Every structure is written in C-alpha cells, then in structure tokens.
Amino acid sequence: MLKTGHLKISTQQKVFGLLFAAPWILGFIIFTLFPITEAIRFSFMDYNILEEPNWIGIDNYRHMFTKDPLFYKSLYNTAYYVIFQVPLSIFVGLGIALMLNKDIKGIAAYRTLFYMPSIVPIVAGTILWKWMFHQQYGILTNFVEFFGIAAPGWLSDPGFAKNSIIIMSLWGAGGGMIIYLAGLKNIPRMYYESAELDGASSIKKFLYITLPLLTPTIFFQLIMGIIGSFQIFTQAYVMTGGGPNDSTLFYYLHLFYSAFKHWKMGYACALAWVLFIIIMFFTVINFTLSKKWVHYS
C-alpha cells in the first residue's frame, strides 16, 4: 500500500489525520470558537436574547466597574474560594496519593474508593451533600457534635457557607490523587535506594526526592485548579442559589443570573471576558513563577 518517499507518506498521513480529527475540529470551530468570538461582539452590545442587539460601546464594562456592587461581591467570593480551595485540594490530593502509593494487599480497591467521588455527577453529589450538611440529621453535623463542637450553620450562616462549599469540593480530591499517583510512579526507584544507602529518613526522602520530582505534576494541578475553581458554579447553583445574603454568589453564578434570569446577555458576555482576562493573568503569573520552583529533570 505505502508509496516510497518519506515526505509523501507524511503528507498523506497528515491529511488522513486531519480527516479523522475533522469532526472535532469543525465542532470546535462551530460550537466553541465562533461563540467565543461572538461573545466579544456581544459584550459591547445591549442584548436581551429576545430582541435585536444594539451597539452601546463600553457601557457594559463601565456598568460593571462603577455600578454593579455584585461584580465586586462575586469576585471576592470567588477569590476566597480559589485562595482556600486550590491549595487545600492539592494538599489533600497529594496526601491521599502518598498514602496509596504503597504495595499492600487490596490497594486497588482503596484507590477506587477514593477516586469514586470525582466521577459522581456534580448535581447528584451536591444534592447528597445538601443532606450531609443538614443541620439536624446531617452526617457532618453529628460528626462535629460527637466531639462536643457546636456545628456551624453550614449553609445558613453567611460567614460560613463558602467554607461548606470548599469542604464539599475536597470530596472530589480523588481526581487529583490519580494524577499524583501517576507522577509518583514516574520517580525512579534508584533515587530512593541510593538515599537509603546514605541513611536518609523518610521525611528527608520526601522533601529532597519526591517533592522536587513531583513539581511538574503539582504545577499542572495548580494551573488546572485555579482555572477550574474560578469557574465554580454548579455546587452553589444547586445548593444555595447564591445565598445566604449573597455569600455564595460566585462570579459564574452572577454571570448566569445576569444572562438567563435578568436577560442581560451583553452584560453577561462582558462579565465572561473579564473573567477570562483574570484567569489568563493568573495563569501567566504562574508560568512566570514556575521557572523558580518547577523541575523538569
């Protein structure tokens, strides 16, 4: 079948490759790229979904920065979530991975158990957690009261509700665990063996071998974590609807309500682009800083 001539084969393979990828490429262009660029256009328009949009220049952006207290409130809520949730989930995910990186009987079962929550559909998981947070019958309530601590108003105290959503998100740390496990498996045994010969303690082994060699994995999780948690939406939408007293009104929730509850699609597009710029900014900062602490060797 194959013709002689190296170049020919490769062009042919390229064509075939592209053909195979065509459905995805076209889907991406039509359903992702086009809406994204349209959203830029709409962000300069007043568009209520039902009527023709009209051009209003930078009014949406002006309104956002000067007249919309919820923009700042939701940004604060989201920042709070990102600042606490991302490090915590890295810490918990890595912790579980280290514990499950042992050769003991039935380890696969344990790994499965920890991984399971991250494949539960978010809405179903959230409804389940709503019950865990129940003020009287909730498992968590009874757990803390067992230790003689009064349970906080999980979802009814504006000062605590965000923490509840963070606690809930850690339930899905098993997703990160899988990635850390893969990273741990990539660390050659011989490093540990030579360290053991030199009499290094397990803490030292972790600090000087495991951690540096895991930095690319941690970095990947950090980037993905920040992008993901800036977009926190479903949990709050299902569980609190943004309350109590707007304490769980995250940025994406504000955006969604603006678009579909108050029909300010143009404004929602502007909000979306501002969020994009914010996430982009943090990602660039992260990549810049990563040169200092991520070791790819």
**Binding residues vs another protein (CB under 8 A):** 1, 16, 19-20, 22-23, 26-27, 30-31, 46, 48-51, 67, 69, 134-137, 150, 153-158, 238-246, 257, 260-263
Minimum Å gap between C-beta 75 and another protein is: 17
Minimum Å gap between C-beta 133 and another protein is: 8
Minimum Å gap between C-beta 12 and another protein is: 9
Both structure tokens of 128:
């389940």
The residue to which tokens 């709503």 are assigned:
130
Nearer to another protein, 137 or 296 (CB): 137
Both structure tokens of 271:
């909000």
Nearer to another protein, 155 or 275 (CB): 155
10 Å Cβ neighbour count for 242?
A: 22
Nearer to another protein, 69 or 188 (CB): 69
Nearer to another protein, 26 or 280 (CB): 26
Nearer to another protein, 30 or 99 (CB): 30
Minimum Å gap between C-beta 163 and another protein is: 15
Phi then psi dihedrals of residue 55, to 5 deg: -70, 130
- CA–CA gap between residue 251 and residue 219 (Å, rounded): 24
10 Å Cβ neighbour count for 170?
A: 16
Distances (CA, A) of 143 to 152, 162, 273: 12, 19, 42
Closest CA to 78 of 235, 199, 204: 235
Minimum Å gap between C-beta 153 and another protein is: 4
10 Å Cβ neighbour count for 67?
A: 9
